[in-house]
Amino acid sequence: MIVQKPKKLMFHLRLVIALSTGLLFSACSAESANEIGQYSTKSVHKNEGKDFKSVYATANQGDPQAQFQLGVMYEDGESVSEDKVEALKWYKKAAEQGLADAQNKMGVKYFYSEDVERNYGKAIKWFRKAADQGHPEAQFHLGEYYTNIEGSPIDYNQAIKWYRKSAEQGFYPAEFNLAALYYKGIDTEPNYSEAFKWYKKVADKGHAPAQFQVAIMYYDGLGVEQDYGKAFELFQTLEHEGYPSAQHNLGVMYEKGEGVEQDYKIAAQWYQKAADQGYSLSQNDLGSLYYSGRGVKEDYDKAFDLYTKAAAQGEALAQFNLGEMYYYGDSVSQDYNKAYEWYIKAATQGNQMAQERINKLKNEGKITR
């Protein structure tokens, strides 16, 4: 006798709580390094407008700022043929005279293996010299060294110390990482009020990952009074920039009626926007709406298709839901073996419901594995 499926909801409704793969802002990508380098660039332009000959002459007289500017000109090929070796020579001359911008630049060179062999020891030596003079980028890099760099000594107290020094000067990558450390509570209990304070500073500068974290903290009431309305507004801001995670969360809020009037149809529209970008959580949750016929016409075939797309990306809830469809024979022929295969995939990722189904299949003798 075929077991009849009770009318129920498939499993979904999970708010996305992080916009990026990791909380910490890392300078290791080219894009991030360019953003961080804007601080040094501002200092470089002190000599903007001077021709090469005059800068060269002043540098040869031992002026460290001119030496640094000459290094920039050689590195960028500005008014002279590009020459990385000459650039490094002049940066070093300026750094040895104690110019913080040049010391930081030397640190960056060794940190990222730019025109020299990577050497973290030399990088940290130069960063410390610049950081001790209050250079916020160098302070940031020291914080990063103690948290993010493979092979470096992990020391979160040192990381917080240097990130805070940099953050207090308004250097937003340091503000973001300081917030992340307080939020995660690495080596300590989370300090959500401090995390919110620093995330909010970065968010107010238009930084999308920080805006997302602030929205989550408003949603959960972490470090700030719970406010669905403010969370919703921030998710909307991010949605306008095309973030599928924000679109997904708007869908969740409409589906649950949090901060807005519950509306399954609008929820489905938001899930669809994110699903169209390949966002697996939204593919799963939209599939569940099609499965249950809420906000859209009930359609097991569409539900199955959406679950399949999400499951292919490793989404455990979708893998479990595919197992359910095979278990009950929805849109597909009832197949306990295929159901078992999908339950195994979900259970491997820690899905307890899938493990319970596996035990049930075995106890009822529906599979022999």
**Mean pLDDT of the residues in the chain:** 88
pLDDT at residue 11, rounded to an integer: 55
For the cut 50, the answer to whether the pLDDT of residue 33 exceeds it is no
pLDDT in tens, 274-285: 999 999 999 999
Residue 97 and residue 99: Cα distance in Å, rounded?
6
* % of the chain at pLDDT higher than 90: 79
1-5, 24-28, 39-43, 266-270: range with lowest mean pLDDT:
1-5
Cα diameter, the chain: 96
Work out the average pLDDT over 317-333. Answer: 96
The count of other CB atoms within 10 Å of the CB of residue 156 is 17
Per-residue buried b or exposed e for 170-205, using 16+ beta carbons within 10 Å of the residue's own CB: ebbbbbbbbbbbbbeebeeeebbebbbbbbbbbbee
Who's near 63: CB < 8 A, 6+ residues apart?
none
Report all structural domains of the chain as residue ranges with CATH numbers, in order of start.
1-19+243-369 (1.25.40.10), 27-133 (1.25.40.10)
Q: Which tokens belong to 226?
A: 């719970």
Phi-psi region of 329 (alpha: psi -120 to 50; beta: other; left: phi over 0): left
Per-residue pLDDT band for 343 (boundaries 50, 70, 90) equals: very high
State how far the alpha carbon of 3 is from the alpha carbons of 291, 319, 325, 328, 355, in Å.
18, 21, 13, 7, 19
Dihedral sign for Cα 70, 73, 75, 80, please. Answer: negative
Contact 179, 195 (CB under 8 A): yes
Per-residue pLDDT band for 367 (boundaries 50, 70, 90) equals: confident
Q: Three-state SS for 313?
A: coil
Any alpha helices (H) in the chain, and if so which ranges?
30-36, 38-44, 52-60, 64-76, 84-96, 100-112, 120-131, 136-145, 156-167, 172-184, 192-203, 208-220, 228-239, 244-256, 264-275, 280-292, 300-312, 316-328, 336-348, 352-363
pLDDT at residue 46, rounded to an integer: 47
| Distance of alpha carbon 272 from the chain centroid | 23
For the cut 70, the answer to whether the pLDDT of residue 206 exceeds it is yes
Work out the average pLDDT over 84-101. Answer: 97
pLDDT in tens, 250-263: 999 999 999 999 99
Q: Which of 252, 237, 245, 250 is closest to 277 using CA atoms? A: 245
Per-residue pLDDT band for 20 (boundaries 50, 70, 90) equals: very low
Work out the average pLDDT over 206-212. Answer: 95
pLDDT at residue 195, rounded to an integer: 97
Q: Three-state SS for 17?
A: coil
Tell me, yes or no, if the pTM score tops 0.75: yes
For the cut 70, the answer to whether the pLDDT of residue 40 exceeds it is no
What is the DSSP code (8-state) at residue 204?
A: T
For the cut 50, the answer to whether the pLDDT of residue 360 exceeds it is yes
Contact 323, 342 (CB under 8 A): yes
Q: Which tokens belong to 75?
A: 């590195």
pLDDT in tens, 109-163: 999 989 999 999 999 999 999 999 999 999 999 999 998 776 678 889 999 999 9
